[in-house]
Amino acid sequence: EVVSELLGLSQLGDRLSAHLGVANVIVVAGNSDEEEWVKQELGRACMKEIQAIATANDVLAVMGGTTLAAVANMAERNETLASTIFVPARGGLGEKVEIQANTISAEFARRTGAAYRLLHVPDQLSEDAYHSLVLEPTVKDILEVIKSSAVVIHGIGDAQRMATRRHSKDLFIETLEREEAVAEAFGYYFDAAGKIIYKQRTIGLQLNELEGKYVISVAGGKSKANAIHAFMKHRPSDVLVTDEAAARELLQHK
């Protein structure tokens, strides 16, 4: 215990990288459950990773959430990024406008000088509406841009908390409980073993389309350790940007 206390953040990242099978883990100090500045540090660290990986004219797909909003807030004008295009990775997921993927991609673009494209899809899509929407020329067009993305940046949330935040029906929340869902990312819900329990119907990047893309996950706070663990079981990302509280908790997981 004492030894682990003494470990520096970069060593903590290396240990977690081996533990989760994630190639690169960046750890910032603190616990973002408790202090707002920690989320800003997650944002800063994540922005550094984006700058390091992006190349001219790349398409960068982003998800929503308060953590991604913090990343966008740290974006600065940059020559390479100014030649890129930011797009939302997936359509509406029932979030408030400030933390929707559309809003966040526009904010990244505004701050870096990049271009952006929006994906206008309602949150609750019937099966019929879904099938006709994907055939709409303007939607088809942006979907192709999204699928061509080289870099994907996304958050991870606790399943119950995300379902509540999206005002999901009680019946659905009960299903998540019964199926023991612990994580949410990209509109998908996962159990502790990383198995997909449910997928929200919206268009955009599907989880099985991440192959060949550079995936950056950003999520912190001790309360998100189970969710991060479950998502990495499903599919280890190329980079995980997290905080110390989540990292220490994650190292306790088998």
Q: Which is nearer to ligand F6P, 13 or 94 (CB)?
A: 94
Asked whether the beta carbons of 112 and 153 are under 8 A apart, the reply is: no
The beta-carbon contacts of 103-109 under 8 Å, at least 24 apart in sequence, are: 103/64, 103/69, 104/62, 104/63, 104/64, 104/68, 104/69, 104/72, 105/60, 105/62, 107/69, 107/72, 107/73, 107/75, 108/60, 108/62, 108/71, 108/72, 108/75, 109/85
Q: Which is nearer to ligand F6P, 13 or 220 (CB)?
A: 220
Q: Is 155 in the site for ligand F6P (CB under 6 A)?
A: yes
Query: Which of 30, 65, 88, 92 forms a contact with ligand F6P (CB under 6 A)?
Result: 65
Q: Which is nearer to ligand F6P, 95 or 249 (CB)?
A: 95
Residue 27, C-beta contacts closer than 8 angstroms, at least 6 positions apart: 9, 10, 12, 13, 16, 242, 243, 244, 247
Query: Which of 15, 154, 213, 229 forms a contact with ligand F6P (CB under 6 A)?
Result: 154
Q: Is 114 in the site for ligand F6P (CB under 6 A)?
A: no
Q: Is 162 in the site for ligand F6P (CB under 6 A)?
A: yes
Query: Which of 41, 49, 184, 243 forms a contact with ligand F6P (CB under 6 A)?
Result: 184
Q: Is 64 in the site for ligand F6P (CB under 6 A)?
A: yes
Q: Which is nearer to ligand F6P, 59 or 99 (CB)?
A: 99
Query: Which of 75, 133, 185, 225 forms a contact with ligand F6P (CB under 6 A)?
Result: 185
Beta bridge partners of 52: none
- Backbone phi, psi, residue 164, to 5°: -65, -45
- Backbone phi, psi, residue 48, to 5°: -60, -40
* From 12-20, 62-70, 122-130, 239-247, span contacting ligand F6P (CB under 6 A): 62-70
Q: How far is the CB of 249 from ligand F6P (least distance, A)?
A: 16
Interaction site with ligand F6P (CB under 6 A)? 63-67, 93, 95, 154-157, 162, 184-186
